[in-house]
Amino acid sequence: MILDLVFIGLAITLYPLPGMAFVLVVSAPRGLYKGLAFILAWLACLVAVIAMVLLFTGGQPPAPRSPPSFVASVAMLVIGLGLIVYGEHRRRHRHPATTGSGPSPTGDSKKSLSSRMNQASAWSAAGLAVLLQPWGMVSAAAATVVKADLSHTASFLALLGFCLLATATLLAMELYMVFAPEKAQHNLIRLRSWLSRHKDQAIVLICLLLGLWLVGRSLYQLTG
């Protein structure tokens, strides 16, 4: 379970779309408060999913080859296949990275999004965090949490570590803005520009790697 949560947590924290949106959030007026609202809503989603799974299992992992264990493995297999299909779809339909120094074709839409974020409230930032949560990957984490045994401290630590790892990128950017706001804002805007040009490649790589991992793990559990 621990290794699965590490891979899923890494995939979530490296997924580019939430990070790109978060840069706009923390760069807006009162960005630190909006960024905190974004992070709290992000964490709340992860904790809520984990809590629902643990409530269903009672904090005790199902016996091997039992119906709940079988369903969790099948769910992981379906999610993994879905990620592979989505990654391959993005690979086939991705646009080449923009390389010139002039404005991109989507410059107006970016300015519009930035303007809306400047006027947004902390509640809007929190809602954006919920919408941008990579729910397919979070669902894979939920299927993994079914195996958690709350009678062991290691399970608590694994779940806590997963939540922190899945939020690590957002926390790092928020802390960067706290301790070096001017430098952080400049560098984060540059980071968002770079991510904007390479997000398709990143999404494809993350989805394919995680999808293959989940498929392999689920097939091992179903046939082992």
Tell me the per-residue pLDDT of 87-115, one tens digit each, with 9 for 90 and over: 988 888 766 554 444 444 445 545 566 66
pLDDT of 7 over the 90 cut: yes
Separation CA 128–CA 205 (nearest Å): 24
Provide the residue count of the chain: 224
| Mean residue pLDDT across the chain | 86
Q: Is 96 exposed, middle or buried (0-12, 13-18, 19+ CB in 10 A)?
A: exposed
Q: What is the pLDDT of residues 121-170, one digit of tens each?
A: 888 899 999 999 999 999 999 999 988 888 888 888 999 999 999 999 99
C-alpha separations of 42 from 102, 138, 152, 217 in Å: 35, 11, 26, 27
Percentage of residues of the chain with pLDDT beyond 70: 88
Sign of the C-alpha dihedral computed for residues 81, 87, 91 and 95 taken in this order: positive
Q: How far apart are CA 216 and CA 210, in angstroms?
A: 10
CB burial readout 143-165, b (16+ within 10 A) else e: bbbbbbeeeeeebeebbeebbeb
Distance between CA 98 and CA 205 in Å, rounded? Answer: 19
Residue 96: the pLDDT is: 58
The answer on pLDDT for 199 being more than 70 is: yes
Which helix or strand (DSSP H or E) is residue 106 part of?
Answer: none
Residue 185 confidence (pLDDT): 86
Lowest mean pLDDT among 14-18, 23-27, 88-92, 115-119: 115-119
pLDDT at 99 (0 to 100): 41
CB atoms within 10 A of CB 172: 12
Round to whole Å and give the CA distance between 210 and 223.
20
pLDDT for 114 equals 62
Task: Give the other-Cβ count within 10 Å of 182's Cβ.
Answer: 8
- The two structure tokens encoding residue 158: 């694994």
Higher pLDDT, 113 or 22: 22
φ, ψ at 106 (rounded to 5°)? -100, 20
Q: What is the pLDDT of residue 140?
A: 93
**Residues 6 or more apart whose Cβ sits within 8 Å of residue 181:** none
Number of H helices, E strands in the chain: 9, 0
pLDDT of residue 102: 43
The CA distance from 143 to 48, in Å, is: 14
Q: Which residue has the higher pLDDT, 221 or 207?
A: 207
pLDDT value of position 221: 83
